[in-house]
Amino acid sequence: MVRYILTRLLGLLFVLFVISLITFWLMHGVPGGPWAYGQQLMSDQQLAALEARYGLDKPVWQQYLTWLGGVVRFDFGMSFEHPDESVLQLIGRTWPITFHLGLMTLLVAFGIGIPLGIVSAVKQNTWVDYLATLLSIFGFVTPHFVWGILFILTFALYLKWLPTGGWEGPQYWILPVLAYAFAPIAMIARYTRASVVEALRADYVRTARAKGLTERTVMSRHVLRNAMIPMITVFGPLVPDLITGSIFIEAIFRIPGLGGYWVTSTFDRDYPMIIGLVLLWAVLIAITYLVTDILYVFFDPRVRIH
């Protein structure tokens, strides 16, 4: 197991190198530059001074080698959009808030989605199943920002139970987490229902019932244990999506997280920030899938890692 993990981590370094190379080439190949919108207000000398300050006057390959040398020293450069902060400082200041939002959303999504899917499967083709299915579909097709605006209008402005935005305390977390969690709840509920329905029809469940086991024992030992294995696959891609931030949720609720920088850094051609965020995303995906593979070993005895 240790050898497998080390091999995957070494492979991750190569993947990050390739991703950084492609990202660096693509972002420099797009027309325009960090000062495209303001260069009409600057003289040629001012523009040349800015490019020399950030090394943009050099060939792209030389810029990449300079950046790569800095990365080896854990220096990802200074943000063009926020010149008083480095990329690591900016991510370190904002990402804990986004991570907190995403982690709470994950807990709510799995805490509601799994029981909802189980109940829907056990009560298959009843009004409970139809209602759960309707709620899941409605939650899945409705964008985050619609839920966010609806919650603000209802619970903040009309009922005045909760604040409209911010991130100062637990009362500020409720609305953005619920708005962010609706789509994951719907997806998890649908996957859980399908897995439980498939497990209920399996031969080993019929055999367990034929042995005289109680329905509770059959569900806990045979149905749920096997039905939850496919949910590990859902866990993989869902985690990076949630803990890297929702642009709309953070904007609507005025959350000072990392989500907004995913768009602003692209529009502003903030090269160090762009590549820093891309690598953060890649690391999260790689680590999440590594954890997913390890979890499969513990939950499914048929899987072996060599």
Tell me: the pLDDT tens digits for 227-265? 777 777 777 777 777 777 677 788 888 888 887 777 778
Q: Is residue 134 part of a domain?
A: yes
Residue/partner pairs of 17-20 with CB below 8 Å, 24 or more apart: 19/278, 19/279, 19/282, 20/68, 20/71, 20/275, 20/278, 20/279
More confident residue, 28 or 14: 14
Question: What range does the domain containing 225 cover?
Answer: 91-263
Residue 154 pLDDT exceeds 80: yes
Query: How many domains in the chain?
Result: 1
For 246, phi and psi rounded to 5 degrees? -105, 125
pLDDT of amino acid 40 = 56
3-state helix, strand, coil in the chain (%, to 5): 75, 0, 25
pLDDT at 305: 57
Residues 6+ apart with CB under 8 A from 246: 101, 144, 180, 259
CA 69 to chain centre: 29
The answer to whether position 80 is within a domain reads: no
Q: In a 10 Å sphere around its CB, with 0-12 CB exposed, 13-18 middle and 19+ buried, how is residue 128 labelled?
A: middle
pLDDT score of 277 more than 80? yes
Question: Would you say residue 112 lies in a domain?
Answer: yes
215: helix, strand or coil: helix
In a domain, 280, yes or no: no
pLDDT at site 11: 81
Assess contact for 117 and 278: CB atoms under 8 A.
no
Residue 14 lies in a domain: no
pLDDT tens by residue, 199-216: 777 777 777 778 777 777
Residue 78's beta-bridge partner residues? 86
Distances in whole angstroms, Cα of residue 201 to Cα of each of 194, 204, 207, 222:
11, 9, 11, 11
Q: Which region among 89-98, 147-156, 284-293 has the lowest average model confidence (pLDDT)? A: 284-293
Share of the chain above pLDDT 70, in %: 89
Query: What CATH number corresponds to the domain at position 192?
Result: 1.10.3720.10
Question: Is 57 inside a domain boundary?
Answer: no
Structural domain contains residue 67:
no
DSSP 86: B
